[in-house]
Amino acid sequence: MPELPEVETTRRGLLPLENQQVASVLVRNASLRWPVTSGLSSLLSGQHFLRLERRAKYLLARCERGTLLVHLGMSGRLCLLQQAEPAGKHDHVDINFASGQVLRLRDPRRFGAVLWIEGDDPLQHPLLASLGVEPLEADFDGAYLYRTTRSRSAPIKTVIMDAHLVVGVGNIYASEALFRAGIYPETPAKRIGLARYQKLAAEIKATLAAAIEAGGSSLRDFFGADGNPGYFQQEYFVYGRTGQPCKVCGTVISTMRQGQRSTFYCPRCQKA
């Protein structure tokens, strides 16, 4: 599933579309997670992609009269084609620009979204209004985590993956950041002190930033019409390394179930 770093890399890769004018929209299959806004072509044609923004894992193309919201769901990816090419069976939406370029959504599992939000305040849309802070922004820090968790007894891993608190900390990044901060994933959030939260917030930012940086170097593959969307190849300390030795202390990496997700951790480096 595309995580925050893939979405941010997608946004950066689409920046050449800023100030480009939409010529038409072709919706081949409107049955995504929610139906593609009906009449999208007449709503969007003639407008420009003025600014490309990201909120959590939503891409927002701000236009003159509203905002196009795109979510990649479980399996979606956006391809930026220099000219029209024959569509495959999973190519559900094409946005054709006056320049001849085509922004194409390919989404085999169809959990993505393409929605038009009228007006100039898309952040009030129900999908966006209750989202937590952005992890890479300055208002996400150790003091914020400490302040918001004083009465939360849920495991810290579950808490940092709660999008009402902070967005975009997916399973990979939660596991890695907790390892790097030396925090056992089951520790009740309210038991963790300010200093450890400062370390944790810094490690969440660092793991996400490293993934975005890795994505930048593979941007061409990410956008090529035939490239694999995949995950950015990265070195993990714990994620997916069950049974292998910890890179710091040599202890065997363990795994546990938390909610519906697997958590990877080092029983020695990470303390409650």
Contacts to Zn ion by CB under 5 A: 246, 248-249, 251, 266, 268-269
From the CB of 252, what's the least distance to Zn ion, in Å?
9
From the CB of 247, what's the least distance to Zn ion, in Å?
8
Alpha carbons 148 and 42: distance in angstroms, whole number:
44
Alpha carbons 232 and 132: distance in angstroms, whole number:
25
Active site residues: 2-3, 57, 261
- CB closer to Zn ion out of 38 and 244: 244
Task: State the residue for tokens 């930048």.
Answer: 216
- CB closer to Zn ion out of 163 and 249: 249
- CB closer to Zn ion out of 128 and 266: 266
From the CB of 248, what's the least distance to Zn ion, in Å?
4
- CB closer to Zn ion out of 54 and 241: 241
From the CB of 135, what's the least distance to Zn ion, in Å?
24
Nearest to 91 by CA among 108, 68, 74: 108
